[in-house]
Amino acid sequence: MNRRDFLKAATSTSVAFAVPGCTEAYRTGSSKIAANLPNFVIILCDDLGYGDLSCYGHPTIRTSNLDRMAVEGQRWTDFYAGESFCTPSRAALLTGRLAVRSGLCGDNRRELYPDSTGGLPQTEITIAKALKSKGYATCCIGKWHLGHLPQYLPTKHGFDYYFGIPYSNDMDKTVADESQIFQQPKIQYWNVPLMRNDEIIERPADQNTITKRYSLAATNFIRKNKNRPFFLYLAHNMPHVPLFTSPDFKNKSSRGLYGDVVEEIDWGVGLILETLRREHLARNTFVVFTSDNGPWLSFNDLAGSAGTLREGKGSTFEGGMRVPCIMWWPGKIKPGIVRDIGCTMDLFTTILTLASTDIPQDRAIDGLNLSPALFGKGPSPRNVMFYYRGTRLYAARKGPYKAHFFTKSAFGKDESVRHDTPLIYHLGQDPGEKYDLADRYPEVIADIQKEVIGHLRTLVVGEDQLTKRIRKR
């Protein structure tokens, strides 16, 4: 199939989603099963900042669909990614475990690259793999970034179907001069493959249309599986640079190209929610929208905003790991603003619990069940958050207080600074982490250090997957 024919098929409402190894009858399932088990949709952005949505305070980016989703559902103010970089963050989300446990974080390489030979180990249990035991249809659309070799692809980790790119959209660069390629991007500057299951179907991926194609593919999957429980994981490539948008959204946002990209993602969210409403699935579908980490501030106007938070992607300050999060389930979850602490790892435990699926008992699970906060039955059970950079614990939060044991710039060549007396910030009063209160609260330092000691005492670090790479001859 040539690119023109593929694009036509991918944007058609009649795209077939064949599930390998399953008959049509099994794919369709029964309405009884679907009625008893909820559906799950996770929409993950790449490098979207805490302050990039209008419902989180952005003055010029228009996100009407996400704003409506926040009004009808819950907008979380203190929600975190599992790490501040792509690969470890995604590993944490899908497994409910800190990436240091699976080996998908490193002190030298911080993510997987096209020459990497490592990936998410087969021994890990993803949300998709766990839900398969309950008969769920599972689909991964978008950026994977947990291993591009056949043994690590989504179809080897519980997903029936995969449509997306295997790593970041700025990889496989074809030009040496980077001075203008991000300001004036062309798809041929990055030879990134677009895959369906384990086959490359387009290279370079046409990133001008990829956000729209992802959203349309997501709605097609929903329609095809409306009569059985399903799990959809839609991980957008963007707003990670390079930034591309389809003609319908180009030059439409007063925020420029970055705003165009975010507004197209917002359009896709609206399309998905409207599909759930039209198919009478909204009241049986739990939808979460969030980001893998904070904004990549090094790219200036091509990067997002962390709002009032300090720093961005790559750092363990709040702007690197605190992310927007909107949860939506009409008629089920209690609408409102949630100021409790939550984390993407908690989605693993929450989803498995809602699907009446056993939580693995043979390994450490860091995710907690957010159901009390979702249904207005009580606060979030999460009161502690650990901030890793590679294999080192840089900071920890307990309640409103955060302690920094090490600090380092997000991408600079500076050495990490060890703080023998940790820096202490009250995140409720000082979300920008400007005013160190260590001299006032020695008891807070002692309390947080106790949590850290307990955590590290039982931590088993996984085999490093990020330094495994193809040897050059």
Q: Which of 382, 407, 436 is the last residue of a domain?
A: 382
pLDDT value of residue 176: 86
Residues 363 and 262 in one domain: yes
Give residue 35's pLDDT band: very low, low, confident or very high (50, 70, 90). Answer: low
Q: How far is Cα 139 from Cα 370, in angstroms, rounded to an integer?
A: 23
pLDDT value of residue 12: 41
Give residue 22's pLDDT band: very low, low, confident or very high (50, 70, 90). Answer: very low
pLDDT (average), residues 5-23: 35
84 conformational bin, left if phi > 0, alpha if psi -120 to 50, beta if neither: alpha
pLDDT (average), residues 411-417: 91
Residues 432 and 320 in one domain: no
Give residue 108's pLDDT band: very low, low, confident or very high (50, 70, 90). Answer: confident
Closest CA to 174 of 191, 151, 160, 193: 191
Residues 421 and 313 in one domain: no
Residue range 186-211, pLDDT digits in tens: 999 999 999 999 999 999 999 999 99
Q: How many structural domains are present in the chain?
A: 2
Q: Report the mean per-residue pLDDT for the chain.
A: 92
Work out the widest C-alpha separation in the chain, in whole angstroms: 67
pLDDT (average), residues 219-225: 98
Q: How far is Cα 18 from Cα 413, in angstroms, rounded to an integer?
A: 48
Give residue 472's pLDDT band: very low, low, confident or very high (50, 70, 90). Answer: low
pLDDT (average), residues 168-183: 92
Q: Which domain holds residue 85?
A: 38-382
Residues 270 and 409 in one domain: no
CATH number of the domain residue 213 falls in: 3.40.720.10
Q: Is residue 11 part of a domain?
A: no
pLDDT value of residue 178: 83
Q: How far is Cα 170 from Cα 147, in angstroms, rounded to an integer?
A: 16
Which position among 45, 58, 86, 148 bears the catalytic label? 86
Residue 467 DSSP one-character state: S
Residues 355 and 407 in one domain: no
Residue range 364-390, pLDDT digits in tens: 999 999 999 999 999 999 999 999 999
Q: Is residue 17 part of a domain?
A: no
Residue 439 DSSP one-character state: T
Bridge partners, 43 (sequence order):
234, 289
Whether the per-residue pLDDT at 71 is higher than 90: the answer is yes
Residues 292 and 430 in one domain: no
Q: Is residue 28 part of a domain?
A: no
Residues 246 and 350 in one domain: yes
Closest CA to 464 of 109, 98, 114, 96: 109
Tokens for 28, please give them. 């369709």
Residues 395 and 317 in one domain: no
Task: Enter the pTM of the model.
Answer: 0.93
Give residue 180's pLDDT band: very low, low, confident or very high (50, 70, 90). Answer: confident
Whether the per-residue pLDDT at 240 is higher than 70: the answer is yes
Q: Which of 348, 382, 416 is the last residue of a domain?
A: 382
Peptide bond preceding 204 in cis form (omega within 30 of 0): yes
Give residue 15's pLDDT band: very low, low, confident or very high (50, 70, 90). Answer: very low
Task: Name the more confident of 31 and 69.
Answer: 69
Active site residue 86: yes
Residues 146 and 158 in one domain: yes
Which position among 58, 105, 139, 145 bears the catalytic label? 145
Tokens for 247, please give them. 């003609």
CATH number of the domain residue 403 falls in: 3.30.1120.10
Whether the per-residue pLDDT at 6 is higher than 50: the answer is no
Residue range 310-357, pLDDT digits in tens: 999 999 999 999 999 999 999 999 999 999 999 999 999 999 999 999
Residue range 255-272, pLDDT digits in tens: 999 999 999 999 999 999
Q: How far is Cα 330 from Cα 335, in angstroms, rounded to an integer?
A: 9
Residues 259 and 171 in one domain: yes
Closest CA to 29 of 229, 198, 295: 229
Q: Which of 382, 405, 424 is the last residue of a domain?
A: 382
Q: Is residue 4 part of a domain?
A: no
Q: How far is Cα 441 from Cα 426, in angstroms, rounded to an integer?
A: 10
As to burial, measured by CB atoms within 10 angstroms (0-12 exposed, 13-18 middle, 19+ buried), residue 443 is exposed
Tokens for 365, please give them. 């699970």
Give residue 362's pLDDT band: very low, low, confident or very high (50, 70, 90). Answer: very high
Give percent of the chain above pLDDT 70.
92
pLDDT value of residue 471: 63
Q: How far is Cα 225 from Cα 35, in angstroms, rounded to an integer?
A: 13
Q: Is residue 99 part of a domain?
A: yes
Rg over CA atoms, the chain: 21
Residue range 265-297, pLDDT digits in tens: 999 999 999 999 999 999 999 999 999 999 999
Residues 251 and 303 in one domain: yes
Give the rounded distance of the alpha carbon of 240 from its chain centre: 12
Q: How far is Cα 426 from Cα 445, in angstroms, rounded to an integer?
A: 12
399: which residues sit within 8 A by CB, 6+ positions away?
Answer: 383
Residues 216 and 256 in one domain: yes
Q: Is residue 13 part of a domain?
A: no
Whether the per-residue pLDDT at 23 is higher than 50: the answer is no
Active site residue 145: yes
